[in-house]
């Protein structure tokens, strides 16, 4: 979206929403909030993510200082990812939003069903 690209750079919340609005980023943060994890371990636990998207997602999160990347000096070098302090605080903020979601989901679901049942929309 051309207009979105323009907005990205003057609107602070868009920086955040570009991460938070992305399912893979959220799932990754969620997983890492349980503790540090390696690449292929994440891959196995985040259901349905492709190798490519995990790599891309991790690099975005690392670039934004939300996660740290540590190469372990093991035989086949392993890479451990972990939430930074900033990542932790974003996880908390997501938790807030999740609270809103959980609270309002029943109402939203109901309204959607009602809307979909309206004859003038069909």
Partner DNA sequence: TCTCATAGTTACCTTCAGGGAACCGCCACA
Partner DNA sequence: TGTGGCGGTTCCCTGAAGGTAACTATGAGA
Q: Is residue 62 at the binding interface for DNA, with CB under 7 A as the rule?
A: no
Q: Is residue 3 at the binding interface for DNA, with CB under 7 A as the rule?
A: yes
Q: Is residue 51 at the binding interface for DNA, with CB under 7 A as the rule?
A: yes
Decide: helix, strand or coil at residue 83.
strand
How many Cβ atoms sit within 10 Å of the Cβ of residue 78?
A: 14
Q: Is residue 20 at the binding interface for a second copy, with CB under 8 A as the rule?
A: yes
DSSP E strand stretches across the chain: 37-38, 67-72, 78-83
Decide: helix, strand or coil at residue 120.
coil
Q: CB burial class (10 A; 0-12, 13-18, 19+) of residue 65? A: exposed
| CA dist 83 → 17, 27, 77, 97 (Å) | 18, 13, 20, 19
Q: Per DSSP, what are the bridge partners of residue 81?
A: 37, 69
| Contact string 68-107 vs a second copy (x = CB under 8 A) | ------------------x--xx--xx-xxx-xxx-xx-x
| Contact string 79-108 vs DNA (x = CB under 7 A) | xx----------------------------
| Residues near DNA (CB under 7 A) | 1-4, 22, 38-41, 48-53, 55-56, 58-59, 69, 75-80
Chain contacts with a second copy (rule: CB under 8 A): 1-4, 6-7, 12-17, 20-23, 26-27, 47-49, 62-65, 86, 89-90, 93-94, 96-98, 100-102, 104-105, 107-109, 111-112, 115-116
């Amino acid at each position: 979206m051309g207009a979105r690209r323009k907005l990205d750079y003057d609107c602070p919340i868009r920086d955040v929403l570009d991460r938070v609005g992305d399912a893979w980023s959220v799932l990754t943060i969620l997983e890492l909030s349980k503790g540090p994890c390696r690449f292929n371990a994440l891959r196995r636990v985040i259901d349905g993510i492709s190798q490519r998207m995990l790599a891309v997602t991790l690099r975005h999160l690392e670039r934004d200082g939300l996660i740290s990347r540590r190469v372990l000096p093991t035989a086949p070098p392993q890479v451990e990812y972990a939430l930074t302090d900033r990542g932790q605080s974003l996880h908390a903020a997501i938790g807030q939003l999740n609270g809103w979601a959980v609270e309002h989901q029943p109402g939203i679901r109901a309204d959607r069903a009602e809307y979909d049942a309206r004859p003038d929309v069909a």
